[in-house]
Structure 1
Amino acid sequence: MEAQLEPDQSPSLFPFIFAIIGLVWYVGLWSIGLLGCRTGRRRYRMRPRSPLATAPPDSIPGVSILRPLKGLDANLYENLESTFTQEYPDFEIILSVADEQDQALPIARDLISKYPSISARIIIGEEVVGVNPKVNNLIRSYREATHDILWVIDSGVSVAPGTLARSVDLLESPTYTRPPKRRVAVVHHVPFASATEGFLGSRIEEAFLNTNHAKMYLAINTVSIESCVVGKSNLYRRSDLERESNDDRDCTHGLAAFGKFLAEDNMIASALWHELDLRHDLSCDVVHIAIGKMSLSDYVWRRVRWIRVRKHMVLAATIMEPFTENLMASSIAAASLRYLFGIPIWLFLVVHHAAWLWVDLDVYESLAGHPLPADRRWWFFTAWCLRELLALPIWFLAMLGNEVIWRGKKYEVLRAGEVKGTSGDGNHGGLFRLFTRWRQQDSHYQPLPSNHSDT
């Protein structure tokens, strides 16, 4: 009799094991989320003034601020002006454009005239060192910069007046005390988005960047077991970049060596981390992004683009990404708890989603410095829900191909995140051509896409 029961009993072990694994995974995700929430509270709810802000100019390191320009980003004047008003005694600003007809040039010239006491200049004309147009735009500024410390900041973001001083504080901080001793090589900033236009894609992008993206970004950088850097605003030393990025195959070095990558920001940070064994640090400042006209299609293809880039850089993490998303994680946990403890699925899901949303809103408040405004709550909650619902379909769409559209050009993503240009008109086709019917002629970051990078 016992011999007959064993075949029937053994299969029940597998659901039990899967339920335990699912529950452990869920607890792990909550630990990461709560770590991001706690980091946001501790790091961003108080921003002290740096002593470097009032130090004598000859007692502090100089900084070259490099801002690549391309077209009229949303709030471009305010974005650029925020670097002219930095509370720091010794810096220069270099604004670069690839084309002398660029629409951003009049604004750049107006600001230079408005702030004659600031050392600022414009460099017109790119140098093609790779397929990445942002690197091509920056390379002359990189080489002509006066100072070793470079602050590369996208044209689509603005910063608080004390950001530079607090960032240099971190970059110049003493060597890490715990072994292995590692010097800070990159100081970066969490992006905080504001939807300046009432477009659906803009609202969803705002909800994504200010909650789930920020929460995971803060947690990963707090644990610091791997490089994770977004390139909206980064400080690093040119001397470090020249030292670690030599490429014997094509004799390129420094910033030029990263022109073959679409996500050059992530690759620079990763190279400093792995090749020179240096570390990164997050400032207590955020960079503010004004999101212009972004349709739902724009949002979808923007997320697709960066998932396709990531899957060629960190394939295992990209494959696991759906299991870190709210809906998938909660479904796994609900099934596990129902099997192990008989907890009703509907009850668990109600409690879970309420708690998950509360944590996301807490991260938002930490970065914003204020609660979510009452007149924006309905839109924000709607956009948050749509972001959660779209996460899995976007991931599947991204995994089905290797081509991406960036700034009107089509690229194929290759091994290790390298890209090559391909033929095409820069429109999305195939089974998903329906998305393009929703595209606006002057889509997000109007009227021309900016030089932004993403995670």
Structure 2
Amino acid sequence: MVPMIYTLYGFAIFFFIYWSAMWLLHIIAIFYGKYKLHRKLPQPALDEPYPGVSILKPLMGMDSNLAANLETFFTMSYPLYELLFCIEEEVDPAVTVVEELIKKYPKVSAKLFKGATTVGVNPKINNMHRAFEESVYELVLVSDSGIKMKEDTLLDMVCYMTDKTGLVHQMPFTCDRNGFAATLEKIYFGTAQSRIYLVADLLRVNCHTGMSTLLRKSVLKENGGLKTFGCYLAEDFFICKYFLDKGWRTTISSQPALQNSGLCDVNSFQARLTRWAKLRVAMVPLVIIFEPLSECMVIGACAAWASSVLFQWDSLAFYLIHILLWFICDWMLLTTVQNGSLPFNKFDFLVAWLFRECSGPYLFLHAIIYPNIQWRNRVFKLAWGGIAQEITPRIKC
């Protein structure tokens, strides 16, 4: 009986300490977000040349926002850059969109690469390999198809590329769009995702999501270039790990990445979150234990039970107060990341926030039970350490 009581108290102490640590993360993320995001850095002096940037745009298929998103790369206020569009198949409808934009902006240096080079199982790496090898400039920006750029976004990222910095990335966020799915996406990226992302950046922990990444080409070339990371699906994580292992700093820029995909529905978004969870589990197995405990509803229930065991507090009252305070902190963090008025009211936020928080643990459990990953029209199996094997190539939709 005595060992059981000690075990009970041990679990209660662990849950209460973990709960306290999660609140510390909340506070750090809010204050660091106010310090780091949406601030202007001193621009290079007029007599100093701006470094050139090669922008890699891997494309596959198209959606209703593709043309508008790609056009923002032609209209950036940056003096020296080239656009390298990478399309796997010549019959891809994105080819026409790119060719029309190249004709519309003849003064912008742009080139279209058709056909992928197989250097690994990662389709994105295969798609970008030729363009990376033929890129002209030392700084390379890898930018996903759904990213929308502001006129000064590239300049903002370059300003963070100091002599000791090897990789600058944007924290994932979303453009303002209408509908429940768009609200759900903005809440996730502005709360759960940004909370971990901001704290990881402050502590210099690898939490890199490679949807918009500026990096030094020469550092990658020392290790064989992009193709070295073709064996991973989460190439962004391992590229960042490589830079850190080589002694380079990595940092986020002040402007978050504005995702603006024309495909915006709940099922697609949840499938995306599940795929990311599978990748995290394969790369860092301890995620299986700690990630579910980072969810508001789960850690709140555990801490409520712990408080009743340790302090004889009312567990229901504790749980409800916990949820209310978590909700308020998430609202504060989201408005910090947004840096302006939100495109929805507090009631819409409440409904979507509750849906996100309640569905999060289920999506993670689903990722554990069904570990194979479907990425676009392919299916992969992951081994521990993140090495990927393609098991069902090129599903025809």
TM-score range normalised by the length of the shorter chain: over 0.9
Aligned to 2:170: 189
- Which SS does the other structure have where 2:93 is aligned? coil
- What is the DSSP-based 3-state SS (H/G/I as helix, E as strand, rest coil) of the residue aligned with 2:385? helix
Q: Structure 1 residue aligned with 2:96, among 106, 122, 133? A: 106
- The one-letter code sitting in structure 2 at the alignment partner of 1:259 is G
Check whether the contact 1:197–1:291 (CA below 8 A) recurs between aligned residues: no
Q: Which residue of structure 1 lines up, in the alignment, with residue 233 of structure 2?
A: 262
Q: What is the match of residue 14 of structure 1?
A: 7
1:233 aligns with 2:212: yes
Matched position secondary structure for 1:219: helix
| 1:88-167 to 2 correspondences below 5 Å | 88-167=78-157
The alpha-carbon deviation at position 212 of structure 1 amounts to: 0.7
Matches within 5 A, 1:253-292: 253-274=224-245, 276-292=246-262
Tell me the equivalent position of 1:302: 272
Q: Once the two structures are superposed, what CA deviation does each residue of 1:154-198 show, in whole Å capped at 9, x if it has no partner?
A: 110112221212211211x24xxxxxxxx2111000111247463
Aligned to 1:72: 62
- Shift of residue 99 of structure 1? 1.6
How far apart are residue 67 of structure 1 and its match?
0.9
1:55 corresponds to which residue? 46
- Structure 2, unaligned stretches of length 5 or more? none
| RMSD of Structure 2 on Structure 1 (CA) | 2.2
Contact 2:28–2:199 (Cα < 8 Å) also in 1? yes
Could you tell me which amino acid in structure 1 is paired with residue 284 of structure 2? V
Tell me the distance in 1 between the aligned counterparts of 2:139 and 2:265.
37
Partner secondary structure for residue 258 of structure 2: strand
Partner of 1:178: none
The letter of the residue matching 2:241 is S
The 3-state SS of whatever aligns with 1:285 is coil
- If you compute each CA radius of gyration, which structure gives the higher value, 1 or 2? 1
Provide the C-alpha distance between the structure 2 equivalents of 1:165 and 1:130, rounded to a whole number of angstroms.
32
Q: Measure how far apart 1:339 and its partner are.
A: 2.2
- State how far apart, in whole Å, the 2-side matches of 1:229 and 1:139 are: 20
* CA pair 293-169 structure 1, distance change in 2 beyond 3 A: closer
Contact 2:167 2:213 in 1 (8 A): yes
Count of residues in correspondence between the two structures: 397
Structure 1 CA distance for aligned equivalents of residues 87 and 9 of structure 2: 60
Mean Cα deviation higher: 384-393 or 284-293: 284-293
- From 285, 297, 312, the equivalent of 1:342 is 312
**What residue in structure 1 maps to residue 381 of structure 2?**
412
> 1:218 offset after TM fit, Å?
0.8
After superposition, give the CA deviation of every residue in 1:213-253 in whole Å (9 maximum; x if it has no partner). 111111111111x322001100111110011x3xxxxxxx2
Structure 1 unmatched ranges of 5 or more = 1-6, 175-182, 246-252, 428-440, 442-455
Question: Hey, which bits of structure 1, 4+ residues long, moved more than 6 A?
Answer: none
Using the TM superposition, give the Cα deviation of residue 207 of structure 1 relative to its aligned residue in structure 2, in angstroms. Answer: 2.2
Aligned residues of 2:15 and 2:306 also touching (Cα < 8 A): yes
Partner of 1:449: none
Preserved contact between residue 377 and residue 393 of structure 2 (Cα < 8 Å): no
1:295-334 alignment runs, 5 A limit:
295-334=265-304
Residues 195/405 of structure 1: CA separation in 2 closer, same or farther (3 Å cut): farther
- Amino acid across the alignment from 2:341: P
- For residues 41 and 249 of structure 2, the distance between their equivalents in structure 1, rounded to whole angstroms, comes to 24
TM-score with structure 1 length normalisation? 0.81
Does 2:195 correspond to 1:204?
no
- The code of the aligned residue for 1:268 comes to I
Asked if residue 38 in structure 1 is aligned to residue 27 in structure 2, the reply is no
Deviation, structure 1 residue 299: 3.1
Per the TM alignment, residue 352 of structure 1 is displaced from its structure 2 partner at its CA by: 1.4
Match of 2:201 among 198, 211, 221: 221
- TM-score normalised per structure 2: 0.93
CA contact 2:122–2:233 (8 Å) conserved in 1: yes
Shift of 1:137: 1.1
- Per the TM alignment, residue 16 of structure 1 is displaced from its structure 2 partner at its CA by 3.0
For 2:4 and 2:230, locate their aligned partners in 1 and report how far apart those are by CA, in whole Å.
54
Q: Is the 1:149–1:238 Cα contact (8 Å) retained in structure 2?
A: yes
Deviations 1:345-404 (A, max 9, x none): 22222221121112112221112111324x444333222211111111221211123311
8 Å Cα contact 1:195-1:291 kept in structure 2: no
**Is 1:391 aligned with 2:381?**
no
| Cα distance in 2 for residues equivalent to 1:338 and 1:213 | 30
SS of the equivalent of 1:422 reads: strand
Give the residue type in structure 2 aligned to 1:340: L
Q: Residues 381 and 389 of structure 2 are in contact (CA less than 8 Å); yes or no, is this contact kept in structure 1?
A: yes
Partner of 2:23, secondary structure, is helix
Percent identity, aligned pairs only?
28
CA contact (8 A) 1:409 1:425 kept: yes
Task: Measure the CA separation in 2 of the matches of 1:110 and 1:381.
Answer: 43
Asked if structure 2 preserves the Cα contact closer than 8 Å seen for 1:202 and 1:293, the reply is no
Q: Point out the more displaced range, 21-30 or 334-343.
A: 334-343
SS of corresponding position for 2:240: helix
Code of the aligned partner of 1:222 = L
Cα distance change, pair 191–74 in 1 and its aligned pair in 2 (3 A) = farther
